[in-house]
Amino acid sequence: MTRLLPGILAMATIVVASNILVQILFGQWLTWGAFTYPLAFLVTDLMNRLHGPRDARRVVLAGFVVGIVCSLIGTRIEGEFGPLVTWRVALGSGTAFLIAQLLDIAVFDRLRGGRWWRAPLASSVVGSACDTAIFFTVAFSQAFVFLDPADDVSWANEVLPLVGLGPEAPLWASLALADWGVKLTLALIALVPFRMIVSARRPQVA
């Protein structure tokens, strides 16, 4: 378990920081949390490469537990427009994190023997797409209003040009597209520290 401690601490730090920074807007379509959360995929991929999928799943589970605690705390804190975290956001966040990270591990493990960059890049792209789709759909789509009828998500379903330029779509679709764009960008950038860290340490799993 000691060998997993750096990964667990890193994942917990990212989850806590993202839960805080998601409350702070960055421009019209993003929050600061969009820039920290994708680092969770880097941690997962590093643990997968260095220690294997089983230990990577343990680190993900630790992050999931921390995320649930953060979300529960957020539902108890009242902001200007109600709880800082609604139950739909908490459910969407936890579900998206767990499924996306486990999918990331599965894709990485399938591509483990290929070129060094293929597994981390492909797994992060697939995992982040899954994460974005699940979170924004569950948290803001009218299709899931039954999860919490008292939660007013009309603001997120206002029809606007997609990210201010494209065809008309609900606001949450623009937020999701911008969020995924950041995740894709960081997935590419994360290849640099991934390569450096893996090269500095001898993997225990090929």
Give the pLDDT of residue 202.
Answer: 64
Residues 135-191: tens digit of each pLDDT: 999 999 999 999 999 889 999 999 999 998 889 999 999 999 999 999 999 999 999
The single residue listed with the structure tokens 């789509």 is: 141
**Cα–Cα distance for residue pair 176/54, rounded to 1 Å:** 30
Helical segments of 37-117, H only: 39-51, 53-76, 87-110
Give the pLDDT of residue 70.
Answer: 93
CA torsion angle for 104, 109, 112, 116 (degrees, to 10)? 20
Geometric angle at alpha carbon 175, from 46 and 178, rounded to 5°: 55
Q: How far does the chain reach from its first CA to its final CA, in angstroms?
A: 20
Give the pLDDT of residue 66.
Answer: 96
**Cα–Cα distance for residue pair 67/45, rounded to 1 Å:** 19
Residues of the chain with pLDDT under 70: 1, 80-81, 202-206
- Token duo for residue 154: 């009309």
pTM of the entire structure? 0.92
